[in-house]
């Protein structure tokens, strides 16, 4: 059934924000949401795991933004009809509250989503939306990911590519990134601002000057397939851990997986800490662990690996008190619009 948003003064921009795992999507979006130009923007967050960590990070910097969650699966291969319905619900909810219409909705996809199937799933809303793809590219690590079909599809399908992590990449890597991007997708607009604020506005505040229809045919065969040998696990903690045990476990996980470790992120309750710790790594490179002031009862890690059976995670030492399972198919979480994050997280966690 097509969602009914025909009364809405359209078109609304629908920005499909893609980019490989850990390439800086949430950071870019959080920076954008802090700017005054984002007042008429809503956000849809799609998480592989069922818990909305990106939403938590975004809400901790931009609490008022209308936000919906598509959780527990990747939007490009598992969501079916959920995305158009979620878009319509955001638009309708805004109208029902008598607020000015949205100018744009940013869909933050998972780091594995291919943009072609996402755009195709929006076909029921085609006349109401002005959809385009913005992809983040990590100048430090991105080159090493482009042999993965998901990463290549994100760059090839982008109308605009945003170069992230230039500050840590070094001049040589940035030059190499430019050359690779120009070869894979010479039609895309390149955003290379070094400063986060201008970069976020250039990335998300307006559509690309030229919207060239990208060619997604190469992805068609894979559109319904899960992501090859990439697997995601949700480790849900049943008790607080000590910071020493957590650090050792993460160290050993990185040692076990090596290059096969794509991403770890989560909120972990540590003995003696008021707030859960935001833990994340991209590849085996861990960011500093920081407390995140969110009122959630849950404690979890999402671990995404390539070419490794998830059972191997159970043997990482020292044993930590968590229940592990592979993430399941996607579901939308209706009714999360405009609600405080805590209740959204609570619902996502039950
Ligand atoms: N130095 C630096 N770090 C960055 C930049 N952008 C992102 N990061 C860091 O890179 C890590 C991953 O960034 P995220 O924004 O969470 O990446 P993501 O693409 O949303 O990750 P997934 O949702 O898991 O795919 C975090 O530790 C960020 O703080 C940047 O431009 N420079």
The domain that holds 345 is classified in CATH as 3.40.50.300
Q: Give the pTM.
A: 0.78
Residue 215 DSSP label:
P
> Do 265 and 151 reside in the same domain of the chain?
no
In a domain, 112, yes or no: yes
> Do 45 and 149 reside in the same domain of the chain?
yes
Of 110, 157, 112, 102, nearest to 134 by C-alpha is 157
The model's pLDDT over 214-248, given as tens digits with 9 standing for 90+, comes to 544 434 444 445 566 778 888 999 999 999 999 99
The model's pLDDT over 141-199, given as tens digits with 9 standing for 90+, comes to 999 898 888 898 899 889 999 999 999 999 999 999 999 998 888 888 999 999 999 99
What is the 21 CA–ligand 1 centroid distance (Å)? Answer: 9
Q: For the residues 317-334, what does the mean pLDDT come to?
A: 69
Task: List CB contacts of 289: < 8 A, sequence separation 6 or more.
Answer: 277, 278, 279
> Do 175 and 303 reside in the same domain of the chain?
no
In a domain, 4, yes or no: no
What is the 258 CA–ligand 1 centroid distance (Å)? Answer: 20
Task: For a ligand 1 pocket test, name from 16, 17, 26, 267 the mutation site with the most ligand atoms within 8 angstroms of its C-beta.
Answer: 26
Alpha-carbon distance of 212 to 244, in angstroms, equals: 51
CB contact burial 44-82 (16+ within 10 A = b; e otherwise): bbbbbbbbbbbbbbbbeebeebbbbbbbbbbbbbbbeeb
> Do 304 and 335 reside in the same domain of the chain?
no
Residue of minimum CA distance from atom 13 in ligand 1: 24
Pocket of ligand 1 (CB under 6 A): 19, 21-27, 54, 111, 136, 164-165, 167-168, 263, 265, 280, 282, 287
List alpha helices for the chain, DSSP H: 25-33, 53-61, 82-96, 115-121, 142-145, 149-156, 166-169, 171-184, 196-204, 243-257, 341-349
From the CA atom positions of the chain, what is the Rg in Å?
19
In a domain, 1, yes or no: no
In a domain, 6, yes or no: no
Q: Three-class SS of residue 267?
A: strand
Counted residue by residue, the chain has a size of 350
What is the 282 CA–ligand 1 centroid distance (Å)? Answer: 8
> Do 182 and 53 reside in the same domain of the chain?
yes
CB of 192 within 8 A of CB of 166? yes
In a domain, 293, yes or no: yes
> Do 206 and 242 reside in the same domain of the chain?
no
> Do 216 and 237 reside in the same domain of the chain?
no
Tell me how many domains the chain contains.
2
> Do 286 and 157 reside in the same domain of the chain?
no
Kindly report the average pLDDT of the chain as a whole number: 80
> Do 161 and 295 reside in the same domain of the chain?
no
In a domain, 80, yes or no: yes
> Do 261 and 159 reside in the same domain of the chain?
no
In a domain, 183, yes or no: yes
The domain that holds 315 is classified in CATH as 3.30.1220.10
Alpha-carbon distance of 110 to 22, in angstroms, equals: 10
The model's pLDDT over 258-301, given as tens digits with 9 standing for 90+, comes to 888 888 888 899 999 898 998 988 877 788 888 888 777 789 89
Residue of minimum CA distance from atom 27 in ligand 1: 287
- Range in 67-71, 97-101, 300-304 with the lowest mean pLDDT: 67-71
pLDDT at res. 78 = 60
Alpha-carbon distance of 34 to 38, in angstroms, equals: 7
- Ligand 1 atom closest to 28 (CA): 15
Domain coverage including residue 214? 12-224+330-349
Alpha-carbon distance of 203 to 191, in angstroms, equals: 7
- Ligand 1 atom closest to 19 (CA): 19
- Range in 66-75, 103-112, 212-221 with the lowest mean pLDDT: 212-221
In a domain, 316, yes or no: yes
> Do 17 and 146 reside in the same domain of the chain?
yes
- Range in 56-60, 75-79, 345-349 with the lowest mean pLDDT: 345-349
Q: Is the ipTM of this complex over 0.90?
A: yes
> Do 137 and 208 reside in the same domain of the chain?
yes
Helices 171-184 and 149-156: crossing angle in degrees, nearest 10, is 80
């Amino acid at each position: 059934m097509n969602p009914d948003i025909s009364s809405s003064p359209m078109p609304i921009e629908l920005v499909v924000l893609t980019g490989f795992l850990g390439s800086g999507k949430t950071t870019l979006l959080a920076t954008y949401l802090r700017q005054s130009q984002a007042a008429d923007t809503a956000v849809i967050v799609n998480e592989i795991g069922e818990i909305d960590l990106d939403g938590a990070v975004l809400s901790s910097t931009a609490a008022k933004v209308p936000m919906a969650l598509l959780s527990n699966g990747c939007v490009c291969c598992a969501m079916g009809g959920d995305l158009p319905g979620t878009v319509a619900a955001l638009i309708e909810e805004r109208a029902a509250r008598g607020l000015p219409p949205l100018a744009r909705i940013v869909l933050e996809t998972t780091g594995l989503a291919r943009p072609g199937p996402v755009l195709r799933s929006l076909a029921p809303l085609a006349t109401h939306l002005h959809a385009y793809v913005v992809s983040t590219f990590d100048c430090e690590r991105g080159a090493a990911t482009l042999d993965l079909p998901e990463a290549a599809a994100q760059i090839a399908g982008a109308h605009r590519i945003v170069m992230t992590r230039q500050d840590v990449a070094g001049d040589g890597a940035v030059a190499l990134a430019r050359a690779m991007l120009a070869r894979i997708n010479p039609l895309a607009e390149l955003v290379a601002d070094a400063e986060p604020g201008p970069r976020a506005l250039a990335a998300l505040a307006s559509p690309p000057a030229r919207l060239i229809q990208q060619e997604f045919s190469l992805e068609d065969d894979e559109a319904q397939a899960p992501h090859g040998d990439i697997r995601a696990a949700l480790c849900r903690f049943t008790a607080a851990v000590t910071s020493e045990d957590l650090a050792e476990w993460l160290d050993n996980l990185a040692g076990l997986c090596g290059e096969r470790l794509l991403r770890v992120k989560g909120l972990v309750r540590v003995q003696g800490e008021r707030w859960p710790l935001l833990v994340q790594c991209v590849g085996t490179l861990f960011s500093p662990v920081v407390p995140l002031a969110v009122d959630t009862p849950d404690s979890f890690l999402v671990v995404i690996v390539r070419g490794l059976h998830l059972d191997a995670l159970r043997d990482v030492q020292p044993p930590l008190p968590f229940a592990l399972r592979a993430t399941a198919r996607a579901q939308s979480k209706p009714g999360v619009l405009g609600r405080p994050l805590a209740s959204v997280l609570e619902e996502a966690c039950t």
